[in-house]
Amino acid sequence: MQDLDTLNRIFGRDTQVVFSNGPSGMPNIEINTSKASSKIALYGGQMLSYKAANSEHDLFYLSEQAIYQQGKAIRGGVPLCWPWFGDDPGHLGRQAHGFARNLIWTVLDCQLHNEIVEITLGLESTATSKQWWPAEFRLRKKFVISNKLKISLTTENKGDIPFSISSALHSYFKVGDIAKTKIVGLDGVAYLDKTLAFSKHAQIGDITPEEETDRVYLDAPKQVQIIDNELKRKIEIKQSEAANIVVWNPWTRAALLKDMSADDYQRFICVETANAIANSVIIAPGTAHQMQVTYITSNID
């Protein structure tokens, strides 16, 4: 693991990009510019916090009861699901949502220009990763932090045979009140409902969560919006090379989660950029696949 002194010497940028110890000594990147403030955990390569300068509230929910320890995903921000989404597809006892979220990522690059910060993190196959998944891979996650937030995930096949991945940027968006929140842009789109044994349905109108919601939208559009009438803001989600949008809120099942307060379901909605289930991506040797998403916040009356 890269030590903090080395990280700050090579990649630090005065007070605008600083590497520091977070909870449990896990290293974080803190970004503060005239355009935005943000925090990224090297554990999981995970965005924890982002707030544009013109925004009163953080874009993301982060649980006050989040557990910061090896082998446990941090509850909130934007955890990564990779190289599989959901339960272990091989039924081999491996953890749900893959292993990339539970490893320390390497800082590869940091650029600062015109108050825009670009940070690239990397993860590569090792003897340890091959215990869980045999593929030879190179993974890159790039964050572009300005008055909007852009995240891209690039998977490269470094081996001699094709491999298949499913993945998601599992974004937890902070909302003022789930009862005053709606998701616009999925009307008429078919989805699989995990709460109903993955049966297939079609969305009718906007999504207004009123109970546990766990849906994988198929042939998803490239843009949707979260309308938060409590915090008086709109969150635009623009994605590319992602076939699915996953919408999740545990509702009262939040009480069963050790790293979330029982009533926290009222304060977030997950709208995830994904390639999941039947939309897994096959990557040939020597080729790469890049999924990306941009988040833009604005005020509403």
**Residues written for the chain:** 301
Q: What is the DSSP letter of 101?
A: G
Catalytic positions, please? 170, 272
135, amino acid identity: A
88, amino acid identity: D
207, amino acid identity: I
Nearest to 295 by CA among 235, 227, 228: 235
Contacts of 45 (CB under 8 A, 6+ apart): 80, 100, 105, 121, 123, 141
CA atoms within 13 A on the CB side of 212: 11
| Helices (runs of H) and strands (runs of E) counted in the chain | 2, 22
Is-cis flag, bond preceding 285, omega within 30?
A: no
Task: Report how far Cα 282 is from the mean position of its chain's Cα atoms.
Answer: 21
* Alpha-carbon dihedral 209, 214, 216, 221, rounded to 10 degrees: 20
d(CA 31, CA 15): 8
Token pair recorded at residue 39: 């925090």
Q: How wide is the angle at C-alpha 172 spanned by C-alphas 62 and 83, nearest 5°?
A: 110
d(CA 45, CA 48): 9
Nearest to 110 by CA among 151, 154, 150, 144: 144
